[in-house]
A and B are shown apart, each in its own frame.
Chain A
Amino acid sequence: MRIRVSIVEDNRGTRESLTELLGRAPTLRFVNAHPSGEDALKGIPADPPDVVLMDINLPKMNGIECVAQLKQQLPKTQVLMLTTYEESDLIFDSLRRGASGYLLKNTLPADLVSAIEQVHAGGAPMSMQIARKVVNHFQQIKKPQSDMEQLTKREQEILALLAKGFLYKEIADQLGISLSTVRAHLHTVYEKLHVQSRTEAVVKYLERP
Protein backbone atom coordinates (compact mmCIF):
# COMPACT_ATOMS: atom_id res chain seq x y z
CA MET A 1 0.00 0.00 0.00
CA ARG A 2 1.57 3.21 -1.11
CA ILE A 3 1.52 6.11 1.27
CA ARG A 4 -0.86 8.79 0.00
CA VAL A 5 0.70 12.27 0.14
CA SER A 6 -0.70 15.75 -0.53
CA ILE A 7 1.19 19.00 -0.83
CA VAL A 8 0.31 22.52 0.28
CA GLU A 9 2.82 24.95 -1.21
CA ASP A 10 2.35 28.38 -2.76
CA ASN A 11 5.57 28.53 -4.79
CA ARG A 12 4.93 26.94 -8.17
CA GLY A 13 8.49 25.77 -8.78
CA THR A 14 8.69 24.07 -5.41
CA ARG A 15 5.24 22.59 -5.85
CA GLU A 16 6.16 21.08 -9.21
CA SER A 17 9.46 19.70 -7.93
CA LEU A 18 7.81 18.07 -4.95
CA THR A 19 5.06 16.62 -7.12
CA GLU A 20 7.61 15.07 -9.40
CA LEU A 21 9.61 13.71 -6.49
CA LEU A 22 6.56 12.08 -4.96
CA GLY A 23 5.65 10.66 -8.35
CA ARG A 24 9.01 8.92 -8.61
CA ALA A 25 9.11 7.41 -5.12
CA PRO A 26 7.89 3.82 -5.28
CA THR A 27 6.56 3.85 -1.74
CA LEU A 28 4.52 7.02 -2.16
CA ARG A 29 1.49 8.04 -4.15
CA PHE A 30 0.89 11.65 -4.99
CA VAL A 31 -2.70 12.70 -4.27
CA ASN A 32 -3.00 16.44 -4.82
CA ALA A 33 -1.19 19.77 -4.61
CA HIS A 34 -2.77 22.94 -3.23
CA PRO A 35 -1.40 26.46 -3.65
CA SER A 36 -2.93 27.89 -0.48
CA GLY A 37 -4.25 27.04 2.98
CA GLU A 38 -7.81 27.90 2.01
CA ASP A 39 -7.61 25.65 -1.02
CA ALA A 40 -6.15 22.84 1.10
CA LEU A 41 -8.96 23.03 3.66
CA LYS A 42 -11.49 22.62 0.87
CA GLY A 43 -9.66 19.94 -1.11
CA ILE A 44 -7.88 17.74 1.43
CA PRO A 45 -10.82 16.53 3.52
CA ALA A 46 -12.57 15.58 0.30
CA ASP A 47 -9.76 13.18 -0.65
CA PRO A 48 -7.81 12.54 2.57
CA PRO A 49 -4.17 11.49 2.23
CA ASP A 50 -2.04 9.71 4.82
CA VAL A 51 0.55 12.47 5.02
CA VAL A 52 0.43 16.15 4.15
CA LEU A 53 3.51 18.20 3.32
CA MET A 54 2.63 21.74 4.40
CA ASP A 55 4.62 24.87 3.73
CA ILE A 56 4.96 26.99 6.89
CA ASN A 57 4.87 30.21 4.92
CA LEU A 58 1.63 30.44 3.01
CA PRO A 59 -0.06 33.60 1.77
CA LYS A 60 -3.15 34.76 3.66
CA MET A 61 -3.91 31.81 5.94
CA ASN A 62 -0.52 30.68 7.22
CA GLY A 63 0.63 27.08 7.47
CA ILE A 64 0.30 26.92 11.23
CA GLU A 65 -3.34 27.95 11.20
CA CYS A 66 -4.01 25.56 8.35
CA VAL A 67 -2.52 22.61 10.24
CA ALA A 68 -4.64 23.39 13.28
CA GLN A 69 -7.84 23.40 11.27
CA LEU A 70 -6.92 20.43 9.14
CA LYS A 71 -6.16 18.26 12.18
CA GLN A 72 -9.56 19.07 13.60
CA GLN A 73 -11.20 17.59 10.55
CA LEU A 74 -8.69 14.80 9.91
CA PRO A 75 -7.06 13.86 13.23
CA LYS A 76 -5.47 10.72 11.77
CA THR A 77 -3.64 12.51 8.98
CA GLN A 78 0.00 13.25 9.71
CA VAL A 79 1.31 16.66 8.74
CA LEU A 80 4.95 17.40 8.03
CA MET A 81 5.81 21.08 7.89
CA LEU A 82 8.08 22.25 5.12
CA THR A 83 10.26 25.23 5.78
CA THR A 84 13.03 27.05 3.94
CA TYR A 85 14.81 28.24 7.05
CA GLU A 86 15.19 26.71 10.48
CA GLU A 87 12.90 29.17 12.16
CA SER A 88 12.54 27.30 15.42
CA ASP A 89 9.77 29.49 16.86
CA LEU A 90 7.50 28.98 13.85
CA ILE A 91 8.34 25.32 13.69
CA PHE A 92 7.53 24.77 17.32
CA ASP A 93 4.25 26.59 16.93
CA SER A 94 3.24 24.39 14.05
CA LEU A 95 4.20 21.28 16.02
CA ARG A 96 2.04 22.43 18.89
CA ARG A 97 -0.91 23.04 16.63
CA GLY A 98 -0.86 19.63 15.03
CA ALA A 99 2.21 18.92 12.92
CA SER A 100 4.13 15.70 13.53
CA GLY A 101 7.51 16.88 12.35
CA TYR A 102 9.22 19.29 10.05
CA LEU A 103 11.58 19.21 7.10
CA LEU A 104 13.81 21.75 5.51
CA LYS A 105 13.00 22.18 1.85
CA ASN A 106 16.71 21.83 1.44
CA THR A 107 16.51 18.18 2.41
CA LEU A 108 17.80 15.58 0.02
CA PRO A 109 14.98 13.83 -1.84
CA ALA A 110 15.90 10.47 -0.39
CA ASP A 111 15.72 11.86 3.13
CA LEU A 112 12.41 13.52 2.35
CA VAL A 113 10.88 10.23 1.25
CA SER A 114 12.34 8.48 4.27
CA ALA A 115 10.89 11.12 6.62
CA ILE A 116 7.44 10.67 5.09
CA GLU A 117 7.67 6.92 5.53
CA GLN A 118 8.78 7.27 9.13
CA VAL A 119 6.07 9.65 10.18
CA HIS A 120 3.50 7.40 8.56
CA ALA A 121 4.88 4.50 10.56
CA GLY A 122 4.37 6.40 13.81
CA GLY A 123 7.83 7.84 14.09
CA ALA A 124 8.32 11.27 15.55
CA PRO A 125 11.33 13.17 14.29
CA MET A 126 12.51 15.66 16.87
CA SER A 127 15.59 17.83 16.88
CA MET A 128 17.61 19.04 19.85
CA GLN A 129 16.11 22.50 19.64
CA ILE A 130 12.55 21.23 19.52
CA ALA A 131 13.19 18.88 22.44
CA ARG A 132 14.36 21.83 24.53
CA LYS A 133 11.32 23.84 23.55
CA VAL A 134 9.00 20.96 24.41
CA VAL A 135 10.50 20.56 27.86
CA ASN A 136 10.27 24.28 28.49
CA HIS A 137 6.72 24.37 27.26
CA PHE A 138 5.46 21.65 29.57
CA GLN A 139 7.31 23.15 32.49
CA GLN A 140 5.34 26.32 32.06
CA ILE A 141 1.91 24.76 32.28
CA LYS A 142 0.56 25.97 35.60
CA LYS A 143 -2.57 23.92 36.02
CA PRO A 144 -2.40 20.66 34.11
CA GLN A 145 -5.89 19.69 33.16
CA SER A 146 -5.07 16.04 32.67
CA ASP A 147 -2.33 13.48 32.21
CA MET A 148 -2.18 14.53 28.62
CA GLU A 149 -0.79 17.87 29.77
CA GLN A 150 2.11 16.43 31.67
CA LEU A 151 5.13 14.51 30.57
CA THR A 152 5.83 11.16 32.15
CA LYS A 153 9.17 10.58 33.75
CA ARG A 154 10.31 8.45 30.86
CA GLU A 155 9.26 11.05 28.35
CA GLN A 156 11.20 13.68 30.29
CA GLU A 157 14.26 11.47 30.33
CA ILE A 158 14.14 10.95 26.60
CA LEU A 159 13.65 14.66 25.95
CA ALA A 160 16.50 15.55 28.29
CA LEU A 161 18.87 13.28 26.40
CA LEU A 162 17.67 14.63 23.07
CA ALA A 163 18.34 18.12 24.36
CA LYS A 164 21.87 17.06 25.20
CA GLY A 165 22.49 16.01 21.62
CA PHE A 166 22.01 12.27 21.90
CA LEU A 167 20.78 10.32 18.90
CA TYR A 168 17.69 8.13 19.13
CA LYS A 169 19.90 5.05 19.01
CA GLU A 170 22.10 6.38 21.80
CA ILE A 171 19.06 7.20 23.91
CA ALA A 172 17.71 3.72 23.42
CA ASP A 173 21.04 2.25 24.49
CA GLN A 174 21.39 4.57 27.46
CA LEU A 175 17.91 3.87 28.80
CA GLY A 176 17.95 0.19 27.93
CA ILE A 177 14.89 0.36 25.71
CA SER A 178 14.35 -0.27 22.04
CA LEU A 179 14.56 2.29 19.31
CA SER A 180 10.90 1.89 18.45
CA THR A 181 10.01 2.52 22.09
CA VAL A 182 11.89 5.80 21.96
CA ARG A 183 9.99 6.74 18.82
CA ALA A 184 6.68 5.74 20.35
CA HIS A 185 7.32 7.87 23.42
CA LEU A 186 8.13 10.88 21.27
CA HIS A 187 5.05 10.25 19.20
CA THR A 188 3.04 10.47 22.42
CA VAL A 189 4.83 13.67 23.32
CA TYR A 190 3.68 15.21 20.06
CA GLU A 191 0.13 14.09 20.72
CA LYS A 192 0.29 15.64 24.17
CA LEU A 193 1.48 18.86 22.58
CA HIS A 194 -1.48 18.81 20.24
CA VAL A 195 -3.99 18.09 22.98
CA GLN A 196 -2.49 20.70 25.24
CA SER A 197 -2.70 23.30 22.53
CA ARG A 198 -6.37 22.52 21.89
CA THR A 199 -7.11 22.62 25.62
CA GLU A 200 -5.32 25.90 25.91
CA ALA A 201 -7.39 27.31 23.08
CA VAL A 202 -10.59 26.17 24.78
CA VAL A 203 -9.51 27.55 28.16
CA LYS A 204 -8.62 30.85 26.56
CA TYR A 205 -11.98 30.92 24.88
CA LEU A 206 -13.83 30.15 28.12
CA GLU A 207 -11.83 32.67 30.09
CA ARG A 208 -12.47 35.47 27.71
CA PRO A 209 -13.83 38.59 29.44
Chain B
Amino acid sequence: MDGPATLHLPAQHSSVRFELTAFDFQAPENVQFRHRLRGMEDNWVVEPEGIRSATHQTLSSGDYEFEAAACNGDGDWSRTSTSIRLEVAKSFWETWWFRGLVLLAFTGLIVAIVRYVSFRRLRNQLRVLEQQNALQRERARIAKDIHDDLGANLTQIAFMGELANQDRDEPDLVGERIRKISATARQAVKSLDEIVWAVNPRNDTLTHLLDYSGQFAVDYLRLLGIRCRLDFPGNIPARELSTDLRHNLFLVVKESLHNIFKHANATEVRLRAVVDETALVLYIEDNGCGFAQAPDDALSDGLRNMEQRMADIGGEFKIASQTGQGTKITLRLPWPAPH
Protein backbone atom coordinates (compact mmCIF):
# COMPACT_ATOMS: atom_id res chain seq x y z
CA MET B 1 0.00 0.00 0.00
CA ASP B 2 1.16 3.50 -0.58
CA GLY B 3 0.64 5.97 2.25
CA PRO B 4 -1.86 5.81 5.05
CA ALA B 5 -5.43 5.43 3.92
CA THR B 6 -8.51 5.60 6.08
CA LEU B 7 -10.97 2.82 6.32
CA HIS B 8 -14.40 3.67 7.63
CA LEU B 9 -16.10 0.92 9.47
CA PRO B 10 -19.73 0.96 10.47
CA ALA B 11 -20.56 0.56 14.13
CA GLN B 12 -22.21 -2.77 13.45
CA HIS B 13 -19.63 -5.23 12.36
CA SER B 14 -18.58 -8.54 13.68
CA SER B 15 -14.88 -8.67 13.02
CA VAL B 16 -12.14 -7.05 11.00
CA ARG B 17 -9.59 -9.10 9.20
CA PHE B 18 -6.47 -7.81 7.63
CA GLU B 19 -4.85 -9.93 4.96
CA LEU B 20 -1.13 -9.40 4.94
CA THR B 21 1.26 -9.83 2.09
CA ALA B 22 4.94 -9.38 1.85
CA PHE B 23 7.47 -9.96 -0.89
CA ASP B 24 10.30 -12.31 -0.31
CA PHE B 25 11.58 -13.98 -3.34
CA GLN B 26 14.00 -16.18 -1.58
CA ALA B 27 11.94 -17.96 1.02
CA PRO B 28 8.45 -16.75 1.03
CA GLU B 29 7.35 -19.48 3.45
CA ASN B 30 9.64 -18.04 6.08
CA VAL B 31 8.03 -14.68 6.07
CA GLN B 32 6.63 -13.68 9.39
CA PHE B 33 4.31 -10.86 10.20
CA ARG B 34 3.82 -8.70 13.17
CA HIS B 35 1.02 -6.23 13.64
CA ARG B 36 -0.58 -4.02 16.15
CA LEU B 37 -3.73 -2.03 16.32
CA ARG B 38 -2.85 1.27 17.89
CA GLY B 39 -5.81 2.75 19.76
CA MET B 40 -6.37 -0.67 21.19
CA GLU B 41 -2.95 -1.93 22.12
CA ASP B 42 0.56 -0.73 21.52
CA ASN B 43 2.26 -4.09 21.75
CA TRP B 44 3.22 -5.89 18.61
CA VAL B 45 1.60 -9.22 18.03
CA VAL B 46 3.89 -11.60 16.21
CA GLU B 47 2.14 -14.20 14.16
CA PRO B 48 3.64 -17.61 13.72
CA GLU B 49 5.03 -18.56 10.31
CA GLY B 50 2.45 -19.15 7.73
CA ILE B 51 -0.20 -16.96 9.28
CA ARG B 52 -0.90 -14.11 6.98
CA SER B 53 -3.87 -12.41 8.57
CA ALA B 54 -4.78 -10.49 11.59
CA THR B 55 -8.26 -10.65 12.96
CA HIS B 56 -9.85 -8.36 15.47
CA GLN B 57 -13.27 -8.87 16.93
CA THR B 58 -15.81 -6.09 16.95
CA LEU B 59 -14.06 -2.83 17.59
CA SER B 60 -15.62 -0.13 19.70
CA SER B 61 -16.04 3.23 18.15
CA GLY B 62 -13.02 5.38 17.77
CA ASP B 63 -9.91 5.98 15.69
CA TYR B 64 -7.39 3.27 15.26
CA GLU B 65 -4.22 2.69 13.27
CA PHE B 66 -3.39 -0.74 12.07
CA GLU B 67 0.30 -1.30 11.54
CA ALA B 68 1.87 -4.31 10.04
CA ALA B 69 5.45 -5.24 9.36
CA ALA B 70 7.07 -8.29 7.97
CA CYS B 71 10.34 -9.94 8.48
CA ASN B 72 12.14 -12.24 6.10
CA GLY B 73 13.51 -15.63 6.68
CA ASP B 74 16.65 -14.18 8.25
CA GLY B 75 14.66 -12.41 10.97
CA ASP B 76 15.12 -8.93 9.64
CA TRP B 77 12.01 -6.90 10.29
CA SER B 78 11.23 -4.40 7.61
CA ARG B 79 12.29 -0.97 8.52
CA THR B 80 9.03 0.66 7.77
CA SER B 81 5.64 -0.63 8.55
CA THR B 82 2.52 -0.13 6.66
CA SER B 83 -0.42 1.35 8.38
CA ILE B 84 -3.95 1.99 7.70
CA ARG B 85 -6.22 4.15 9.69
CA LEU B 86 -9.52 2.89 10.87
CA GLU B 87 -12.42 4.94 11.91
CA VAL B 88 -15.13 2.98 13.52
CA ALA B 89 -18.39 4.86 13.55
CA LYS B 90 -20.30 5.42 16.72
CA SER B 91 -23.41 3.40 17.29
CA PHE B 92 -26.24 5.82 17.46
CA TRP B 93 -26.51 5.32 21.15
CA GLU B 94 -23.03 6.66 21.51
CA THR B 95 -23.71 9.90 19.79
CA TRP B 96 -24.00 12.94 21.94
CA TRP B 97 -27.37 13.93 20.56
CA PHE B 98 -28.86 10.57 21.34
CA ARG B 99 -27.54 10.68 24.85
CA GLY B 100 -28.85 14.18 25.22
CA LEU B 101 -32.25 13.00 24.10
CA VAL B 102 -32.19 10.15 26.57
CA LEU B 103 -31.33 12.49 29.39
CA LEU B 104 -34.13 14.77 28.33
CA ALA B 105 -36.58 11.90 28.20
CA PHE B 106 -35.47 10.63 31.58
CA THR B 107 -35.88 14.05 33.12
CA GLY B 108 -39.27 14.33 31.49
CA LEU B 109 -40.26 10.98 32.99
CA ILE B 110 -39.23 12.05 36.47
CA VAL B 111 -41.22 15.26 36.10
CA ALA B 112 -44.24 13.33 34.85
CA ILE B 113 -44.10 10.88 37.76
CA VAL B 114 -43.81 13.64 40.31
CA ARG B 115 -46.72 15.48 38.77
CA TYR B 116 -48.84 12.35 38.63
CA VAL B 117 -48.15 11.51 42.26
CA SER B 118 -49.03 14.99 43.43
CA PHE B 119 -52.11 14.96 41.19
CA ARG B 120 -53.27 11.73 42.78
CA ARG B 121 -52.68 13.10 46.24
CA LEU B 122 -54.61 16.26 45.47
CA ARG B 123 -57.43 14.27 43.98
CA ASN B 124 -57.67 12.11 47.10
CA GLN B 125 -57.67 15.18 49.28
CA LEU B 126 -60.39 16.62 47.10
CA ARG B 127 -62.43 13.47 47.42
CA VAL B 128 -62.11 13.48 51.20
CA LEU B 129 -63.14 17.11 51.30
CA GLU B 130 -66.11 16.40 49.05
CA GLN B 131 -67.22 13.63 51.34
CA GLN B 132 -66.88 15.84 54.35
CA ASN B 133 -68.81 18.49 52.52
CA ALA B 134 -71.59 16.07 51.64
CA LEU B 135 -71.72 14.91 55.25
CA GLN B 136 -71.93 18.48 56.46
CA ARG B 137 -74.69 19.32 54.05
CA GLU B 138 -76.52 16.23 55.21
CA ARG B 139 -76.15 17.25 58.83
CA ALA B 140 -77.32 20.74 57.99
CA ARG B 141 -80.32 19.35 56.19
CA ILE B 142 -81.27 17.12 59.11
CA ALA B 143 -80.84 20.00 61.52
CA LYS B 144 -83.07 22.13 59.33
CA ASP B 145 -85.73 19.42 59.07
CA ILE B 146 -85.76 18.89 62.79
CA HIS B 147 -85.91 22.59 63.40
CA ASP B 148 -88.61 23.25 60.85
CA ASP B 149 -90.95 20.34 61.41
CA LEU B 150 -90.39 19.31 64.98
CA GLY B 151 -89.46 22.68 66.37
CA ALA B 152 -92.66 24.16 65.05
CA ASN B 153 -94.79 21.26 66.28
CA LEU B 154 -93.37 21.27 69.76
CA THR B 155 -93.62 25.01 70.09
CA GLN B 156 -97.23 24.76 69.04
CA ILE B 157 -97.88 22.08 71.65
CA ALA B 158 -96.35 24.17 74.39
CA PHE B 159 -98.42 27.13 73.31
CA MET B 160 -101.64 25.15 73.19
CA GLY B 161 -100.89 23.72 76.62
CA GLU B 162 -100.54 27.22 78.03
CA LEU B 163 -103.80 28.33 76.48
CA ALA B 164 -105.57 25.20 77.70
CA ASN B 165 -104.35 25.91 81.18
CA GLN B 166 -105.66 29.46 81.00
CA ASP B 167 -108.98 28.21 79.69
CA ARG B 168 -109.31 25.45 82.23
CA ASP B 169 -112.65 26.73 83.43
CA GLU B 170 -114.17 26.32 79.99
CA PRO B 171 -114.26 22.57 79.33
CA ASP B 172 -115.27 22.84 75.66
CA LEU B 173 -112.41 25.15 74.85
CA VAL B 174 -110.00 23.05 76.82
CA GLY B 175 -111.19 19.93 75.06
CA GLU B 176 -110.57 21.59 71.72
CA ARG B 177 -107.08 22.69 72.65
CA ILE B 178 -106.16 19.30 74.00
CA ARG B 179 -107.36 17.66 70.82
CA LYS B 180 -105.12 20.01 68.89
CA ILE B 181 -102.22 19.17 71.17
CA SER B 182 -102.69 15.46 70.56
CA ALA B 183 -102.95 15.91 66.84
CA THR B 184 -99.85 18.11 66.72
CA ALA B 185 -97.88 15.65 68.80
CA ARG B 186 -98.85 12.82 66.49
CA GLN B 187 -97.77 14.90 63.54
CA ALA B 188 -94.45 15.50 65.27
CA VAL B 189 -93.87 11.78 65.66
CA LYS B 190 -94.68 11.25 62.00
CA SER B 191 -92.16 13.92 61.01
CA LEU B 192 -89.60 12.32 63.25
CA ASP B 193 -90.34 8.94 61.71
CA GLU B 194 -89.59 10.35 58.31
CA ILE B 195 -86.37 11.99 59.43
CA VAL B 196 -85.23 8.82 61.15
CA TRP B 197 -86.07 6.77 58.06
CA ALA B 198 -84.20 9.14 55.77
CA VAL B 199 -81.11 9.28 57.94
CA ASN B 200 -80.66 5.66 58.92
CA PRO B 201 -78.04 4.16 56.58
CA ARG B 202 -79.74 0.81 56.95
CA ASN B 203 -82.44 2.13 54.67
CA ASP B 204 -80.14 3.12 51.84
CA THR B 205 -81.66 0.71 49.34
CA LEU B 206 -84.15 0.82 46.49
CA THR B 207 -86.33 -1.71 48.31
CA HIS B 208 -86.61 0.54 51.34
CA LEU B 209 -87.43 3.54 49.18
CA LEU B 210 -90.23 1.77 47.34
CA ASP B 211 -91.65 0.12 50.46
CA TYR B 212 -91.65 3.32 52.44
CA SER B 213 -93.03 5.50 49.65
CA GLY B 214 -95.66 2.94 48.79
CA GLN B 215 -96.81 2.59 52.38
CA PHE B 216 -96.88 6.34 52.78
CA ALA B 217 -98.96 6.76 49.63
CA VAL B 218 -101.44 4.08 50.68
CA ASP B 219 -101.84 5.45 54.22
CA TYR B 220 -101.94 9.11 53.26
CA LEU B 221 -104.45 8.73 50.45
CA ARG B 222 -106.61 6.36 52.45
CA LEU B 223 -107.02 9.01 55.15
CA LEU B 224 -108.22 11.40 52.46
CA GLY B 225 -110.65 8.90 51.01
CA ILE B 226 -108.63 8.41 47.83
CA ARG B 227 -107.95 4.91 46.60
CA CYS B 228 -104.32 4.09 46.02
CA ARG B 229 -103.10 1.31 43.76
CA LEU B 230 -99.48 0.25 43.78
CA ASP B 231 -97.78 -1.40 40.86
CA PHE B 232 -94.31 -2.35 42.03
CA PRO B 233 -92.14 -5.15 40.67
CA GLY B 234 -92.24 -8.33 42.73
CA ASN B 235 -88.51 -8.77 42.79
CA ILE B 236 -86.76 -5.52 43.42
CA PRO B 237 -83.10 -5.62 42.40
CA ALA B 238 -80.58 -4.65 45.03
CA ARG B 239 -79.58 -1.06 44.38
CA GLU B 240 -77.92 1.32 46.73
CA LEU B 241 -79.53 4.72 47.10
CA SER B 242 -77.94 7.32 49.33
CA THR B 243 -79.86 9.26 51.97
CA ASP B 244 -79.84 12.28 49.70
CA LEU B 245 -81.33 10.49 46.72
CA ARG B 246 -84.04 8.58 48.48
CA HIS B 247 -85.13 11.38 50.76
CA ASN B 248 -85.43 13.86 47.91
CA LEU B 249 -87.27 11.38 45.73
CA PHE B 250 -89.62 10.62 48.61
CA LEU B 251 -90.26 14.33 49.15
CA VAL B 252 -91.19 14.76 45.49
CA VAL B 253 -93.61 11.84 45.74
CA LYS B 254 -95.05 13.32 48.92
CA GLU B 255 -95.55 16.72 47.36
CA SER B 256 -97.09 15.19 44.24
CA LEU B 257 -99.65 13.45 46.43
CA HIS B 258 -100.32 16.67 48.35
CA ASN B 259 -100.98 18.40 45.04
CA ILE B 260 -103.32 15.67 43.93
CA PHE B 261 -105.30 16.11 47.12
CA LYS B 262 -105.34 19.88 46.89
CA HIS B 263 -106.07 20.30 43.21
CA ALA B 264 -107.02 17.13 41.42
CA ASN B 265 -110.31 16.05 42.92
CA ALA B 266 -109.33 12.50 42.17
CA THR B 267 -110.80 9.28 43.48
CA GLU B 268 -107.90 7.01 42.56
CA VAL B 269 -104.16 7.31 42.30
CA ARG B 270 -101.87 4.76 40.72
CA LEU B 271 -98.24 4.60 41.77
CA ARG B 272 -96.14 2.52 39.41
CA ALA B 273 -92.44 1.74 39.65
CA VAL B 274 -90.35 0.48 36.76
CA VAL B 275 -86.81 -0.65 37.42
CA ASP B 276 -84.30 -1.30 34.68
CA GLU B 277 -80.57 -1.30 34.08
CA THR B 278 -80.28 2.44 33.76
CA ALA B 279 -82.81 4.02 36.06
CA LEU B 280 -85.75 3.94 38.40
CA VAL B 281 -88.92 5.43 36.95
CA LEU B 282 -91.91 6.30 39.11
CA TYR B 283 -95.27 7.11 37.57
CA ILE B 284 -97.90 8.88 39.64
CA GLU B 285 -101.21 8.94 37.84
CA ASP B 286 -104.51 10.27 39.05
CA ASN B 287 -108.00 10.21 37.61
CA GLY B 288 -108.72 13.76 38.60
CA CYS B 289 -109.68 16.87 36.70
CA GLY B 290 -106.31 17.52 35.12
CA PHE B 291 -105.23 20.93 33.95
CA ALA B 292 -104.20 22.78 30.81
CA GLN B 293 -101.69 24.93 32.56
CA ALA B 294 -100.88 25.45 36.22
CA PRO B 295 -103.81 27.45 37.50
CA ASP B 296 -102.13 29.32 40.32
CA ASP B 297 -98.72 30.56 41.23
CA ALA B 298 -98.33 28.35 44.26
CA LEU B 299 -98.80 25.28 42.13
CA SER B 300 -96.40 26.47 39.43
CA ASP B 301 -93.86 27.28 42.10
CA GLY B 302 -94.39 23.89 43.60
CA LEU B 303 -93.95 22.18 40.25
CA ARG B 304 -90.81 24.13 39.59
CA ASN B 305 -89.47 23.16 43.02
CA MET B 306 -90.06 19.51 42.28
CA GLU B 307 -88.34 19.87 38.95
CA GLN B 308 -85.38 21.45 40.69
CA ARG B 309 -85.30 18.83 43.40
CA MET B 310 -85.19 16.07 40.84
CA ALA B 311 -82.52 17.88 38.86
CA ASP B 312 -80.46 18.28 42.03
CA ILE B 313 -80.27 14.53 42.41
CA GLY B 314 -79.54 13.99 38.76
CA GLY B 315 -83.07 13.01 37.85
CA GLU B 316 -86.00 14.22 35.80
CA PHE B 317 -89.47 15.50 36.56
CA LYS B 318 -92.17 15.47 33.90
CA ILE B 319 -95.82 16.24 34.21
CA ALA B 320 -98.45 15.63 31.57
CA SER B 321 -102.05 16.62 31.96
CA GLN B 322 -105.19 17.39 30.03
CA THR B 323 -108.31 19.02 31.36
CA GLY B 324 -110.72 16.33 32.38
CA GLN B 325 -108.22 13.56 31.69
CA GLY B 326 -106.25 13.32 34.87
CA THR B 327 -102.56 13.93 35.39
CA LYS B 328 -99.47 11.81 35.02
CA ILE B 329 -96.23 12.63 36.77
CA THR B 330 -93.05 10.86 35.69
CA LEU B 331 -90.05 10.81 37.98
CA ARG B 332 -86.88 9.36 36.55
CA LEU B 333 -83.78 8.69 38.62
CA PRO B 334 -80.75 7.25 36.84
CA TRP B 335 -78.62 5.01 39.00
CA PRO B 336 -75.64 6.81 40.43
CA ALA B 337 -72.25 5.76 39.07
CA PRO B 338 -70.50 3.44 41.52
CA HIS B 339 -67.36 4.72 43.26
Contacts and interface: CB of A to CB of B under 8 A. Distances in A.
A135 to B, nearest CB: 7
Per DSSP, are chain B's interface residues mostly helix, strand or loop, or mixed?
helix
B230 A89 contact: no
Interface in B191-216: 192-193, 196-197, 202, 208, 211-212, 214-215
Nearest to B217: A165
Contact of B212 (A88, A105, A135, A164): A88
B239 interface: no
A157 interface: no
Interface in A61-98: 84-86, 88-89
Contacts of B127: none
Contacts of B235: 136, 139
Interface string A102-142: 00111000000000000000000001110011011001000
B215 A129 contact: yes
B189 interface: yes
A151 interface: no
Q: Categorize the interface residue count of chain A.
A: 20 to 34
A67 B280 CA distance: 37
A85 B229 contact: no
Contacts of B192: 85
A164 B231 contact: yes
Interface string B214-228: 110110001000011
A163 interface: yes
A167 B189 CA distance: 25
A104 B196 CA distance: 15
Interface in B159-193: 186, 189-190, 192-193
Given A86-B193, A132-B232, A164-B230, A106 B214 contact: no
Contacts of A85: 192-193, 196-197
Contacts of B208: 88
A135 B230 contact: no
Given A89-B202, A128-B230, A165 B214 contact: yes
Nearest to B216: A86
A103 B230 CA distance: 23
B246 to A, nearest CB: 14
Contacts of B100: none
B3 interface: no
Contacts of B214: 128-129, 132, 165
B233 to A, nearest CB: 10
Contacts of B186: 106
B234 interface: yes
Contact of A106 (B190, B202, B230): B190
Contacts of B229: 164-166
A127 B230 contact: no
Contacts of A86: 193, 197, 212, 215
Contacts of A165: 214, 217-218, 227-230
Contacts of B193: 84-86
A41 B214 CA distance: 36
Nearest to A90: B202
A128 B229 CA distance: 11
B218 A128 contact: yes
Which of B217, B218, B222, B235 has the largest count of A CB atoms less than 10 A from its CB? B218
B230 A163 contact: yes
A86 B192 CA distance: 11
B197 A163 contact: no
A107 to B, nearest CB: 9
A136 B235 CA distance: 8
A129 B236 CA distance: 13
A163 B273 CA distance: 13
Interface in A150-184: 163-167
Contact of B215 (A127, A135, A136, A166): A127
A36 to B, nearest CB: 23
Nearest to A140: B235
A207 to B, nearest CB: 25
B142 to A, nearest CB: 15
Interface string A174-205: 00000000000000000000000000000000
B248 to A, nearest CB: 20
Contacts of A88: 208, 211-212, 215
Given A165-B217, A167-B222, 11 more contacts: A85-B192, A85-B197, A86-B197, A86-B215, A88-B211, A128-B214, A129-B211, A132-B232, A136-B234, A163-B232, A165-B227
Interface of B: 186, 189-190, 192-193, 196-197, 202, 208, 211-212, 214-215, 217-218, 222, 227-232, 234-235
10 contacts: A86-B215, A88-B212, A105-B189, A106-B186, A127-B215, A136-B235, A163-B230, A164-B229, A165-B217, A166-B229
5 closest cross-chain pairs (CB), A and B: A165-B230, A165-B218, A129-B215, A85-B193, A106-B189
